[in-house]
Amino acid sequence: MNYNNPVQLQAAILDWAGTVVDFGSFAPTQIFVEAFGEFDVQVSIEEARGQMGMGKWDHIRTLCDQPQIAERYRKAFGRTPTDEDVTAIYERFMPLQIEKIASHSALIPGALDTLTGLRQQGLKIGSCSGYPAVVMKKVVELAATNGYVADHVVATDEVPNGRPWPAQALANVIALGIDDVAACVKVDDTVPGILEGRRAGMWTVALVCSGNALGLTYEQYQALAPDQLVAERKRIHALFEGSRPHYRVDTINDLPQVIADINRRLARGEMPQAV
C-alpha cells in the first residue's frame, strides 16, 4: 500500500464567531468586559480581544496574567488573581454569555450562499469554537434558525486541549471521515485558530475583516474609506504573520476562490505542511 497525496479538498473546518456568525466577533468580547466588571475590575474591549480564539477559561487566565489587569485585580482584592479567581470569573462569564449570545447570532452577510456553494462542490462543513459545549449548543440552535447547520461541531471543552492545540480540528477530521488532513482547510479569524489548523496539518485561511482583528460591525466595515481599509488590512496581515496562514482574505465570501486555488495546488502535488 502506497501513500498518495490528496488531489482536492474534502472539508472546510470553520470557526463560528467572526467567521460564519457575529460579524466583528462581539459576543465573546463584550461578555469578558461585563464578567470582569462584576468583580469591579475594568477590562477594555481592546484588551479582551487580545487573546480571542482560545478556550474561554484559558482566555480569562491569559487576561489575568497581563500586568495591568493583574494590578487592577490586586487593587480590588489585595492579591493578584489565582486559578480559583479565574474560575470564579469564568463561572460568571458563562451565564452572561448564554443569556446574550442571541444578540450577536446573525450570519455573516452572504455566508449561507457561500457555504451552500461549497457543499454543492462536495465539501463537508466541520466546525469548532473557543466556546464551551453549553454555549455552543445555543449558538448552533440560533444558527439553525437562520439556515446554517454544520456537519459537525466541536466545542473547546470536548477535547483535552483547545486552541492553539490541533485537537478540535482533528476531531472534525475523524467525525467527518476525512482520509487526509491535507484535504482540509481551516478557516478562522484569530491567530490561535490559524495555529490550530497549521498544527493539524491543514491548509489555513485567515479572515481579516469579518472577525476579531478588525472588530467592526458589518455596517462600519462597509463604511470604511478605501485608504482606511487598506491600512487596516496591512495592520491585520501583520498580526497574522507569525501564525503563517496560507491565505488571508476579507470574509468567508472570498473562500470559493481560495478553495479553487488550493485544489489546483493539490493537483500539482503541493501539500500544506510544505508551504
Domain containing 93: what range? 27-103
Tens of pLDDT, residues 89-107: 989 888 888 888 888 899 9
Q: Tell me whether residue 4 is in a domain.
A: no
Give the integer Cα–Cα distance in Å for 95 and 3: 48
Q: Residue 60's domain is classified under what CATH number?
A: 1.10.150.240
Catalytic residue among 15, 22, 85, 189: 15
For residues 109 and 81, state if they share a domain: no
For residues 93 and 142, state if they share a domain: no
Question: Mean pLDDT, the chain, as a whole number?
Answer: 94
**Boundary of a domain, candidates 78, 103, 128:** 103
Give pTM, 2 decimals.
0.89
Long-range contacts made by residues 253-262, C-beta under 8 angstroms, separation at least 24? Answer: 253/108, 253/109, 253/110, 253/111, 253/114, 255/12, 255/114, 255/118, 255/187, 255/205, 256/114, 256/117, 256/118, 258/185, 258/205, 259/9, 259/12, 259/118, 259/121, 259/123, 259/185, 262/9, 262/185, 262/203
Q: In what order do the strands lie in the sheet with 11-14?
A: 152-154, 124-128, 11-14, 184-188, 203-207, 247-249
For residues 126 and 260, state if they share a domain: yes
Q: Is 15 a catalytic residue?
A: yes
Q: Which of 227, 186, 185, 190 is nearest to 208 (CA)?
A: 190
Of residues 98 and 149, which shows the higher confidence score?
149
For residues 115 and 179, state if they share a domain: yes
Q: Which of 97, 105, 98, 102 is nearest to 29 (CA)?
A: 97
Give the integer Cα–Cα distance in Å for 206 and 194: 7
Residue type, 252: I
Question: In 3-state terms, what secondary structure has residue 117?
Answer: helix
Distance of CA 64 to CAs 27, 57, 59, 99, 144, Å? 20, 11, 9, 24, 35
CB of 53 closer than 8 Å to CB of 212: yes
For residues 82 and 117, state if they share a domain: no
Q: Tell me whether residue 5 is in a domain.
A: no
pLDDT the model gives residue 123: 98
pLDDT the model gives residue 120: 97
Set of cell numbers at residue 189: 479569524
Catalytic residue among 22, 56, 85, 186: 56
* Pairing verdict, β 152-154 and 124-128: parallel
Tens of pLDDT, residues 12-52: 999 999 999 999 998 878 888 888 999 999 998 888 887 67
CB of 28 closer than 8 Å to CB of 89: no
For residues 18 and 46, state if they share a domain: no
Residue type, 42: Q
For residues 158 and 261, state if they share a domain: yes
CB of 17 closer than 8 Å to CB of 49: no
pLDDT the model gives residue 263: 98
Q: Is 234 a catalytic residue?
A: no
pLDDT the model gives residue 141: 96
Give the integer Cα–Cα distance in Å for 136 and 98: 9
Q: Tell me whether residue 220 is in a domain.
A: yes
pLDDT above 70 coverage of the chain, percent? 100
